[in-house]
Structures are given as C-alpha cells and as structure tokens.
Amino acid sequence: MKVYNWQLNREMDYKYQEIHPQKQVTWVFDTNKCIACQTCTMACKNAWTSGKGQEYMFWNNVESKPWGFYPLGWDVKLLEKLGPQPWNGDKYAGKTIFEGAQYGEEILGYAPDENDYSHPNLGEDEVNQQVKEKEYITIPHQPWMFYLQRICNHCSYPACLGACPRKAIYKRKEDGIVLIDQKRCRGYQECVRACPYKKSMFRTNTGKSEKCISCFPAVEQGKQTQCVQNCIGKIRLFGFKSNWNEPRGNNPIDYLVHIKKIALPLYPQFGTQPNVYYIPPIHVPEAFNRQLFGPGAKNAVEQYKKAYEDLNLTGLLMLFGSTDQIISSFKVEGDINNGYCAGYDDKGNELIKVPLKEPIIIREEYDEQRNVRRFNVT
C-alpha cells in the first residue's frame, strides 16, 4: 500500500494502510548534553531485562559514534544493503527498507549473529581518527565523537510489525506504543531481522521476542519513562506528539519537532517514521549528521547554537529532566535574565516552573558554619 511519510516528504510503500493513533508517544534526546554515564541503560535494565535469557538485552543503550554499535555494525550493515540514499532538498529520492527489499523478501534487513551482541560498549569514547602529536581541540573539532542514545522508536510504520507472520506485534491506538503479544509470538524472529534499529530481541529460554514497551504502566499514569526519569544529564524529554500537519505551538514535543525542527529522526531514510528525535551534535561534520538525521541537520545545529534568541526554545531545553510527569503544554514569561518556563499536564495543572537562566552561585572559600575550607589551600 501507499502511505505518506512526512519525514521523507513523499509517499512510500508499506504493508498496511496508514492509520494514526489518537496521540503518539515521542522522545527528544539532546546529544550535546549526554555524558554516557549509562544511568538510563541501567534503569531500563533493572526495570525490564533483569531476567534469565535477557542477559544480553539492552532495550536502552548509549553508544559512541562513529565506532560504537549495539549490536555490532547494526546501522552500517543496513546502510550498505540499502545503497545510495539521495535527497532532493527535503524530499527523499532513494529507496526505503520497504522499497529496497530483495526478491522474495518484503522488508530489507538482516539477522545479527549472536556474537554481534557481545560487546555493547565497543568503541566507547573512541574518536573518529588518531589524535596527532601536538594537536589540540578547536572548533570545529578535528578528532571527534559523540554519544548516541538508542531505544525502540515506536515507529509510525514499524518494520517489526510489518514483518511478523503471526501478527503478534501491534501499535496501540490510544498512544502509538508498539508491543509484542507474547501469547501470539512463536519466536520466528522476523521482527529481529526486519527492525533496522535492531531493537526487537529474541529470548532463547522462552522462545519469544521482546522489546521496549515504553514503560506503558507508568505512561498510563502520566509519568515519563524510566530512561527519561533517571537521566542525570537531563538530556531527555518524553511526551505526546501531534500529527505532522496539526502541530500545537504550546506542546513541547510539537515545538521541538514540527515548529522549530531542531529535533530530528534517526536514519529517516529507512522509512519507518521513527518517533525518537535527536538534537544533533554541534561539533560533528555536517555530512555525518546529515547521514544520521537527514537534510535538516545543518539547520538544527544552527538553531541550537543560537537557542538563547528564542525564549520558547530556551525554556523547553530547561524543562528537560525537570519533572517525572508528562508535560502536555508549556508557557514562557519574562526575559532571558528573569523569565521562567512553566510546564502543565493535560488538565492544565502546573507541574513545574524553571528559570530561563540558571543562577550562578559562588560559594565562599571558607565555610564558617562547618569550620572547613572548600578549596585546597596547602
């Protein structure tokens, strides 16, 4: 069937008809603030994949680009299979994984080897090239790397759903969360082969496939997901996105994705219309960002660099990690020095209020109350 993919700015082939949920769960990750502490990874691991047969599973992982992968080579292998991925302006002129499948297959993909999952920290903190003698950091960086946070994208056109012969995978109409019905799953692993992000995983001792469930018990209670709540760097925001042609200006996700267009999908050329969005790293070559995040990457970097000129954007960036509740709307008042951004739930109740500019507090060298010095004076 033909469906419209707004991230590609064109129609494309997909197995099922185009149906939109009532609202769509969406994440925004700011790659520029991530410190790769892996707290998100451990929070997800402890909550959902601490059982037998799940030892290798990381529904959430943070990998260092350009050399980090989980599983090994998950993206470069598929990019090579997909072939050239040209863009004509903001319209994708190449083939998606649904259009580039080989004869006898419905979806272009591959099944990782067992050993591909053995080194989730491969390439951690490794820069793109060897640091030369007497070289020092400049802007833009010569050697560079950045941290890429990855979870299931709960895609609008899920490859896993399209590939499952048992129709065990479904997308919830109330919030767009993609789940696997464990009663229907027979462990054929077609979802593992088809998912371009390799976030559907097979559990050997149950013979079933499993994946991120968007912490739906918490989401149903108005809470953000575990990976968002536990993020030390405050790089994550979770909420619900409106349809691409009906954005709400006071919806944090809509503002970042549809209005400001500073948050972009990962590998939109795959065609799944993923619902995890990234603010691209500002110190990475434009060509690399473009390959990962599409033709809007350059504009997103420029917007981020001058975020202080847009009080709404400044306020939203300050809202990241400020509350464990789902923020449905926001409002900014005041100026950059004395203003604030307030976040509200879906009933209009105020959840949080943060300053547009964090105060600078300089502590005295000597603490009279505790009779100690805060700095080394020896």
- Which run of H or of E encompasses 25? strand 24-30
Q: Are 321 and 234 in contact (CB under 8 A)?
A: yes
What number of helices (H) and strands (E) belong to the chain? 10, 19
Looking at residue 7, its pLDDT comes to: 98
The backbone torsions φ and ψ at residue 223, rounded to the nearest 5 degrees and listed phi first, read -100, 150
Average pLDDT over residues 11-38: 97
| Full-model pTM | 0.95
Per-residue pLDDT tens over the stretch 341-370: 999 999 999 999 999 998 888 888 888 999
User: Are 179 and 213 a contacting pair, CB within 8 Å?
Assistant: yes
**What pLDDT, in 10s, does the model give residues 224-264?**
999 999 999 999 999 999 999 999 999 999 999 999 999 99
- Taking alpha carbons only, the member of 301, 305, 319, 304 closest to residue 356 is 319
The answer to whether 170 and 16 are in contact (CB under 8 A) is no
Judged against a pLDDT cut of 70, whether residue 378 lies above it is answered with no
pLDDT of residue 50: 96
Contact of 294 with 315, CB cutoff 8 Å: no
Q: Residue 375 — very low, low, confident or very high, per pLDDT cuts 50/70/90? A: confident
Are 320 and 352 in contact by the 8 Å Cβ rule? The answer is no
Average of per-residue pLDDT across 280-289? 96
Amino acid 377: pLDDT = 62
- For 117-126, the pLDDT digits (tens) are 999 999 999 9
The β-bridge relationship of strands 87-88 and 340-344 is: unpaired
CB 198 within 8 A of CB 47: no
pLDDT band at 147 (very low <50, low <70, confident <90, very high): very high
In whole angstroms, give the CA distance from residue 322 to residue 352: 7
The answer to whether the beta carbons of residues 209 and 192 sit under 8 Å apart is yes
Q: Is the pLDDT of residue 329 over 90?
A: yes
Structure tokens at 131: 């640091």
H-helix segments, the chain: 39-48, 74-82, 159-163, 190-194, 216-219, 226-229, 252-254, 286-293, 297-305, 311-319
Q: What's the rounded mean pLDDT across residues 63-80? A: 97
- Residues 98-111 have a mean pLDDT of 94
Please give the Cα distance from 239 to 217 (Å, whole number).
15
| CA dihedral (17, 18, 20, 26) positive or negative | positive
Q: Determine how β-strand 24-30 pairs with β-strand 276-279.
A: parallel
CA torsion 246-265-234-226 (nearest 10°) is 90
The pLDDT of residue 374:
83
Handedness of CA 54, 56, 59, 61 (dihedral sign): positive
Which amino acid type is present at position 200?
S
CA-to-CA dists, residue 302 to 202, 244, 283, 336, angstroms: 41, 22, 11, 19
For 19, 20, 54, 121, the CA distances from 171, given in Å and listed in that order, are 10, 10, 23, 31
